[in-house]
Amino acid sequence: MLATAIFSTVMPFDPMTRTLAFHAYGHPSITARHRNTIEFTKDEHVTPKGDCIAGCKADFSLKEIREFIKEMKRSGDLSVTVMIECDGKKDVVQGFLNPDFDDEHELVIRKSDFSSKRTLVVRANKGAGELDRGFFHNFPKSERGVMHISIQ
């Protein structure tokens, strides 16, 4: 059963809906052009060299992610849908949860099967370069673009 995502502002992890939510922000240096990965980082400043970065100043909580992983493992279904929303635009990425995720600073979504402690989602159907480009058009002008990311 592939879960669908609905952005929740109520709490970072809602066990009733099995939804994990967090925010990330735009930055003038974000290019989000990588073919195979999407990254959200807690770094405040990024460079164009990090072409997989889709958002910075992310406010995800490792504790909440661990609870989310625990609940998903309990359900027996590790398929996830990642919904990204910003300025009225939405994009969806589907993949499978890496139950070994354990990073407080970076959250990576990969199209491949490769997993590390930074990888939350594997076998995703999109990389950063395939996300709606409308998310990134305003970033050169402002760092205020707020992305709402929910994973269910």
Torsional sign, CA 142, 143, 144, 150: positive
Largest interatomic CA distance in the chain: 44
Query: Taking the model in full, what pTM does it have?
Result: 0.86
DSSP 3-state percent helix, strand, coil across the chain (nearest 5): 15, 35, 55
- The per-residue pLDDT for range 62-85, each reduced to its tens digit, is 999 999 999 899 989 899 999 888
- The CATH H-level (homologous superfamily) assignment of domain 13-151 is mth639 domain like (2.60.120.630)
Contact 65, 73 (CB under 8 A): no
Task: Tell me the domain boundaries of the chain.
Answer: 13-151
- The per-residue pLDDT for range 7-48, each reduced to its tens digit, is 334 356 656 667 888 888 888 899 999 999 999 999 999 998
